[in-house]
Amino acid sequence: MKKKLIDRIRDRSARVGIIGLGYVGLPLAVEFAEGGYKVTGFDISTEKVKLINGGRSYIDDIPDNRVAPQVKSGHLRATTDDKLLAKMDCVSICVPTPLSKTKDPDISYIIAAIKWLKKYLHKDMLIVLESTTYPGTTDEVIRPILEESGLKAGRDFYLAFSPERVDPGNAYFTTKTTPRVVGGQTEKCTRIAKAYYEQVIPSIYAVSSTRAAEMVKLLENTFRSVNIGLVNEVAVMCRRLKLDVWEIINAAATKPFGFMPFYPGPGLGGHCIPIDPHYLSWKLKTLNYYARFIELAGDINSHMPEWVVDRITGLLNDHGKAVNGCKIMVLGVAYKKNICDIRESPALDVIRILENLGAKTKYNDPYVPAVNWDKTSLKSSRLTASVLNKSELTVILTDHSDYNYQWVVDNSKMVFDTRNATSGVVKNRSRIFLL
């Protein structure tokens, strides 16, 4: 008799499938492979599949020396062949969930993955969605599609939601070391999903349902979005009050209770924080409720690139220069420091607005050799003293640790620092202007 799924999970004989091999899927696949499972990663990108099967990684947080041994041992492989899903016992779905142009949820990638999976669904299979989405997606969208097969969730197969909590570039909180939330369609689904993840992730927190687990992820990122929106507006306030917002935040952060420091910047980036709160807002609109905090924070954060450009324009004007025709050097286009991820990066919006105003912009980013967006292609320029000297303004949009900020300031005519990157490392600050 075939052993129960939970027993196969615990003795590592269960076969694991990961649909989507991006920033979430590949690290998860590697963790399960290193945990002793036979893992198959599914992706529509032949390039990604070829790289993984060649023992190479395209994710900053996963070096080649973690992928190659697992491929060589046979514990990890990648494929575009959906028919292999029929052999899987446990499947995690890690596909993108972007917004449409009208800021409505786009779950088309989830639906495509589920329809892909439905053809090969079999009894005693565990399916876990990790992609961020609105509360009710697993129960209202995924379950009915899968049950078209004639199999019933909680009886014939097991269905759960476990939100990804990936923080690119964070060496301390990784897929393995970040606690994992799990919520199943039924109590049995939750129990099996919990057993699945706890084999490779030490800390698992079970909630009552898939809806609860979906809401947990949205609360986490809405919390960040709203607080960043608040501190971005405080930065605008402090500018009008002729106060240094960084001084104010650092002083407030000395309070040991009741305050958590957030920091302003040129806007929000990444796949999660600029997007996820809108999933919750959209869902509430269907229930005739307007999520005011979410909408207001989104409005403030989305307009920060414009405010940064206004500051740049004013700064140039104060020194008798027009933005039109001005040479501007931008440092950093990744959405945050020390990674190559440019998804939703506010730096790209700043560059676009400056270009539309006639500025002659160049950028340097040690992590991003080239960018292609909005029918625009740019390559990272070499960062030399000559390039900085010939620019009227150097703008720090991403505070990469690779930069020697003292050298940057010494060789620049003026520096506009939107990240407070020069604080504590540059002595003569007469040429530095803060957000």
Q: What is the CATH number of the domain that holds 10?
A: 3.40.50.720
User: Rounded distance, CA 206 to CA 216, Å?
Assistant: 11
User: Which residues are tagged catalytic?
Assistant: 272
Looking at the structure, tell me whether residues 198 and 309 fall in a common domain. Answer: no
Domain end among 208, 239, 274: 208
Looking at the structure, tell me whether residues 196 and 312 fall in a common domain. Answer: no
Say how many domains are in the chain. Answer: 2
Does residue 235 lie in a domain region?
no
Neighbouring C-beta atoms of residue 119, cutoff 10 Å: 11
Contact criterion met (CB below 8 Å) for 5 and 158: yes
Looking at the structure, tell me whether residues 31 and 167 fall in a common domain. Answer: yes
Looking at per-residue confidence, does 203 or 270 come out higher? Answer: 203
Looking at the structure, tell me whether residues 313 and 426 fall in a common domain. Answer: yes
Q: Nearest 5°: phi and psi at 205?
A: -120, 115
Model confidence at 244: pLDDT above 80:
yes
- Any idea how long the chain is? 435
User: Rounded distance, CA 22 to CA 411, Å?
Assistant: 39
Does residue 262 lie in a domain region?
no
Looking at the structure, tell me whether residues 315 and 195 fall in a common domain. Answer: no
Looking at the structure, tell me whether residues 54 and 170 fall in a common domain. Answer: yes
Q: What is the mean pLDDT of the chain?
A: 94
Note the pLDDT tens digit of each residue in 132-181.
999 999 999 999 999 999 999 999 999 999 999 988 888 889 999 999 99
Domain end among 176, 208, 240: 208
Does residue 307 lie in a domain region?
yes
Does residue 80 lie in a domain region?
yes
Note the pLDDT tens digit of each residue in 252-287.
999 999 999 999 999 988 877 888 888 899 899 999
Note the pLDDT tens digit of each residue in 79-91.
999 999 999 999 9
User: Rounded distance, CA 245 to CA 395, Å?
Assistant: 18
Average the pLDDT over 339-348 and give the result.
Answer: 92
- pLDDT computed for residue 193 by the predictor: 97
Domain end among 208, 223, 256: 208
Confidence tier at 2 by pLDDT (50, 70, 90) = low
Looking at the structure, tell me whether residues 203 and 307 fall in a common domain. Answer: no
pTM above 0.95, yes or no: no
Instruction: Give the E-state strand segments of 349-429 in sequence order.
Output: 360-364, 370-373, 376-379, 393-396, 415-417
- pLDDT computed for residue 277 by the predictor: 87
Contact criterion met (CB below 8 Å) for 387 and 363: no
User: Rounded distance, CA 242 to CA 387, Å?
Assistant: 32
- pLDDT computed for residue 372 by the predictor: 86
User: Rounded distance, CA 214 to CA 237, Å?
Assistant: 35
- pLDDT computed for residue 1 by the predictor: 40
Does residue 221 lie in a domain region?
no
Which amino acid makes up residue 84?
L
Does residue 257 lie in a domain region?
no
Average the pLDDT over 52-69 and give the result.
Answer: 94
Looking at the structure, tell me whether residues 307 and 191 fall in a common domain. Answer: no
Does residue 218 lie in a domain region?
no
Instruction: Give the E-state strand segments of 333-392 in sequence order.
Output: 360-364, 370-373, 376-379
Contact criterion met (CB below 8 Å) for 389 and 356: no
For residue 395, what are the domain limits? 303-434
- Measured at the CA of 202, the angle between CA 69 and CA 169, to 5 degrees, comes to 60
Q: Nearest 5°: phi and psi at 64?
A: -55, -35
Residue of 375, 359, 435, 431 whose CA lies nearest to 399: 435
Does residue 274 lie in a domain region?
no
